[in-house]
């Protein structure tokens, strides 16, 4: 395959590849190849690309929008550094004139999007980029990766939060994430979706997300005696003593917690809760609840973790297991049942003409679009309508696609993380009943008449172009 | 759950959370909680933690080690910055004495590991950290996330490479990764496992990985005529013209490629290949191959992409589909069938005493361990033996766990990325036949007698401690 390869033995940058949030080179090579060709031909007119998800994974009924803030951050910050330019020149792949233009490139286009925390469905354009063709093309790879990281997690977290029916859910997933950036972004996405917080420390200084933490089994094992471990921990963290009780014998450890609580009361220390991380969590929780209650610790909370997902949580909640909170890792941050999104970023308009992809099984709706959401008298969603952006919407419907960046500048008063979280809470309350119960009933997304007309018109134009 | 929460409204750092590869705060809060407790009690003696995977996912027969380089980079670089310290102080969670100690903290312990590119099995410690207890504890979350990112992808990529039976495999997954760091690390892990390269541009300047790129459907759609699109692309990328032929009609576009090749021959431009991204790839490839051959383009390569994984590739290879290379995205970078690893980082020794976790279903082997790999006369692996590190190994067996960092310093002459890739190629060749055919037969990993004796001894000590 040497023919398709573009390997060069050019000198290599000494750059810290993982610490360049604004890098233009975090993209696919074909974007730069196409840009060079567009540049050579002067194809610099405005293009409109829209980002949407093609279909729902098997067990899913909806997605939750998240990650827009990081996507917009990238568009604002992106630029080619001197180092990157030097590498690109030495690679011999690009013309000097093109690289001169690329070095000066800033994003001065428009970004429209469906706000974070909004429930979205297949075919709905949750992002629209309007910019000169090569610029709108370049940003594709990065936008997709940035949004995927949070939409996947937020959509899974929403299911877990719904299953927990008001009980606390905390993201424990940093260690199970595909790297630390993915872990940190997962904490953010989980918070948008309604998790109470995360175990990831940096999420607090970086995003203002509440952080939670107890202790590990190693802490107990490092002591010769479990009771000593509990005592030491309580004295060092007197305000927030949550003890992990399953290292050796869960119920035995619960008895120790009762004894320790009496001992520490004299020092003014209260045991706030316990965590169970293995075995039959619901069964242990019932036995531990009884031991704690009999010992007078009726206010001590029981926190469960270890291999949890929405199914296991729903079962325990359904059984009435006395669990106050859940720590969820793997299934949340990698969305085990649906780890990837079938996202697409497609050209819908160029130089004033609507465009459409027709590949088998992958056809798309052309033009700039709006999504109108209608709610019933009970406040729940009843159906969406996909229209051309230029059309008026149905009476009383909510327009979901809104301006975020205009001419390269962020719109003032943009929603923050807490707004996104509040919107998600509201949207999840407004889900149709079957979807709120994690069903997979198809939510109606209709296509407006003028949009269907435009699609037919584009098809006719393409057919004529092929024959011409 | 306010009781377990440690939310503070402390002032927040203005830091670029995603660009701190050395951050000590990219960890779980419980690590810092435990560290404070260890610090208070003076529990600073050397601890030994080992990192291993508990079990194989359903369809898997082996893992491939990768990501060690980034894990070691972190240990060398980690430190608490002034900004992070200011945040930690303002949070009110930690004592000043502890934060003074943390500000001066550098990793000065030892790291042992199984080299990147080595096939590994459950229970085999592919990483061992020896450091003062609080330090070895702190680094857990980050090491797990860093290694998971690459082991998951390398293990999946190895399957895809084996299925391709020598045909080129290229990572197309940046856009499907959980963020850009995950995408870049996936490119590296895929290369270790034997992929020819990646579409991710930054992987070349950052890691020296060959990059590949063709064009997108949008390039064809942006032109009024498909032939014009092909012509423009070929003139701008004369050295590496690979044309995407499935935007409208795959075989029709192949005919255009033949005509274009004749036209461009006069300009000295050769069409190097075509890419098919939708429909029945094997069927299209056969028809396209015939069109290209009949048109005299017998050297033009056919590249296939779109929803590929090891099963689809194996089927097409088995059918003899005339496909020269495969671009793989989603299934590779998120390892769709097994997106997470059941990794564990467990305390195996503290203050000279072996330790062991006994939680239900999660018991571990105590002490510092070595893995011995035995090969048969045909060069293939026949079985591994897990022993105490202090024991001699069987005659002729290969010791897999090797020193990487000693007293905080990287061992000289450490293997680079190309070494890891060469090792992976060799290891995959030495897989037992059933595993090389992607079977799930259990590979024998035996436990040495002295290790079993030690486990029993630790159990007796713990039992005595509980009664005492």
* Sign, CA torsion A200/A204/A209/A211: positive
Spatial CB neighbours of B333, under 8 Å, sequence gap ≥ 6:
A178, A340, B153, B171, B173, B174, B176, B177, B182, B183, B186, B190
| DSSP 8-state code for residue A167 | S
pLDDT category at A237 given cuts 50, 70, 90 is: confident
Torsion angles phi and psi, residue A274, rounded to 5: -130, 155
pLDDT category at A334 given cuts 50, 70, 90 is: very high
Query: Which of A18, A206, A222 lies nearest to residue B184, judging by beta carbons?
Result: A18
A32 contacts B176? CB cut-off 8 A: no
Give the tens place of pLDDT for each residue, A69-95.
Answer: 999 989 998 989 888 899 999 999 999
pLDDT category at B83 given cuts 50, 70, 90 is: confident
Query: Which of A16, A232, A357 lies nearest to residue B41, judging by beta carbons?
Result: A232
CB of B119 closer than 8 Å to CB of B428: yes
Spatial CB neighbours of A330, under 8 Å, sequence gap ≥ 6:
A173, A176, A307, A336, B340, B342
pLDDT of residue B6: 31
pLDDT at A67 over 60: yes
pLDDT of residue B12: 32
B339 contacts A334? CB cut-off 8 A: yes
B223: its two tokens: 């032109």
Comparing alpha-carbon positions, the chain A residue that sits nearest to B459 is A248
A19 contacts B236? CB cut-off 8 A: no
Comparing alpha-carbon positions, the chain B residue that sits nearest to A218 is B347
A172 contacts B28? CB cut-off 8 A: yes
* Across B418-425, average pLDDT: 98
DSSP sequence for B179-229: SHHHHHHHHHHHHHHT--EESBTTHHHHH---BB----HHHHHHSSSHHHH
pLDDT of residue B467: 54
Give the tens place of pLDDT for each residue, A180-217.
Answer: 999 999 999 999 999 999 999 999 988 999 999 989 99
Task: Determine the distance in angstroms separating the CA of A322 from the nearest CA of chain B, rounded to an integer.
Answer: 13
Spatial CB neighbours of B274, under 8 Å, sequence gap ≥ 6:
B242, B243, B244, B245, B253, B254, B257, B288, B292, B300, B301, B302, B303
Comparing alpha-carbon positions, the chain B residue that sits nearest to A170 is B5
pLDDT at A296 over 50: yes
Burial of B193 (0-12, 13-18, 19+ CB in 10 A): buried
Distance CA(A5)–CA(A7), nearest Å, equals 6
Other Cβ atoms within 10 Å of A403 Cβ, number: 13
Confidence (pTM): 0.94
DSSP sequence for A340-360: S--EEEEEEEETTEE-----T
* Across B73-93, average pLDDT: 90
Query: Which of B4, B70, B468 lies nearest to residue A303, judging by beta carbons?
Result: B4
CB of B114 closer than 8 Å to CB of A140: no
Q: Give me the domains of chain A, ranges plus CATH numbers.
A: 17-153+338-467 (3.20.140.10), 163-333 (3.20.20.70)
Strand partners, B353: B350
Give the tens place of pLDDT for each residue, A392-419.
Answer: 999 999 999 999 999 999 998 888 999 9
B384: its two tokens: 């591994």
Task: Determine the distance in angstroms separating the CA of B374 from the nearest CA of chain A, rounded to an integer.
Answer: 31
Query: Which of B23, B175, B248 lies nearest to residue A462, judging by beta carbons?
Result: B248
Other Cβ atoms within 10 Å of A33 Cβ, number: 24
| DSSP 8-state code for residue A94 | S
Task: Determine the distance in angstroms separating the CA of B382 from the nearest CA of chain A, rounded to an integer.
Answer: 31
Spatial CB neighbours of B453, under 8 Å, sequence gap ≥ 6:
none
**Alpha carbon A247 to chain centroid distance?**
33
pLDDT category at B3 given cuts 50, 70, 90 is: very low
pLDDT of residue A7: 31
Give contacts of B352 with chain A, Cβ < 8 Å. Answer: none
């Amino acid at each position: 395959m040497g023919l398709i390869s573009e390997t060069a033995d050019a000198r290599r940058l000494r750059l810290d590849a993982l610490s360049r949030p604004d890098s233009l080179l975090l993209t696919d090579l074909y974007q730069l190849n196409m840009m060079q060709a567009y540049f050579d031909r002067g194809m610099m007119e405005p293009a409109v690309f829209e980002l949407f998800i093609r279909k729902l994974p098997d067990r899913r009924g909806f997605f939750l929008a998240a990650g827009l803030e990081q996507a917009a951050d990238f568009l604002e910050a992106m630029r080619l550094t001197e180092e990157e330019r030097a590498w690109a020149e030495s690679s011999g792949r690009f013309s000097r004139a093109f690289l001169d233009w690329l070095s000066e490139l800033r994003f001065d286009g428009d970004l429209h999007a469906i706000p974070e925390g909004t429930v979205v469905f297949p075919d709905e354009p949750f992002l629209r980029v309007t910019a000169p063709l090569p610029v709108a093309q370049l940003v594709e790879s990065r936008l997709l990766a940035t949004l995927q990281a949070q939409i996947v997690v937020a959509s899974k977290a929403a299911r877990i939060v719904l299953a927990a029916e008001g009980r606390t859910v905390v993201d424990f997933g940093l260690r199970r994430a595909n790297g630390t950036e993915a872990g940190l972004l997962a904490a953010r996405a989980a918070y948008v979706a309604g998790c109470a917080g995360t175990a990831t420390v940096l999420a607090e200084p970086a995003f203002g997300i509440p952080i939670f933490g107890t202790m590990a089994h190693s802490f107990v094992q490092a002591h010769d005696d479990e009771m000593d471990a509990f005592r030491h921990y309580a004295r060092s963290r007197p305000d927030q003593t949550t003890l992990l009780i399953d290292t050796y014998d869960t119920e035995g450890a619960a008895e120790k917690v009762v004894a320790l609580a009496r001992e520490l009361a004299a020092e003014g220390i209260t045991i706030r809760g316990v965590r169970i991380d293995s075995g039959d969590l619901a069964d242990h929780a019932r036995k531990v609840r009884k031991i704690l209650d009999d010992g007078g610790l009726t206010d001590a909370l029981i926190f469960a973790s270890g291999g949890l997902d929405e199914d296991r949580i729903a079962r325990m909640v359904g059984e009435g297991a006395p669990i106050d909170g859940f720590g969820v890792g793997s299934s949340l941050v990698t969305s085990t049942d649906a780890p990837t999104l079938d996202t697409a970023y497609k050209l819908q308009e160029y130089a004033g003409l609507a465009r459409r992809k027709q590949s088998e099984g992958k056809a798309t709706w052309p033009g700039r679009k709006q999504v109108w959401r209608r709610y019933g008298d009970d406040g729940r969603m009843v159906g969406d309508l996909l229209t051309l952006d230029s059309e008026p919407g149905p009476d009383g419907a909510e327009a979901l696609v809104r301006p975020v960046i205009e001419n390269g500048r962020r719109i003032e008063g943009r929603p923050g993380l807490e707004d996104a979280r509040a919107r998600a809470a509201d949207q999840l309350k407004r889900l149709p009943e079957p979807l709120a119960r994690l069903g997979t009933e198809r939510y109606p997304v209709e296509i407006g008449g003028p949009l269907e007309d435009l699609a037919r018109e584009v098809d006719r134009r393409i057919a004529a172009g092929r024959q011409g």
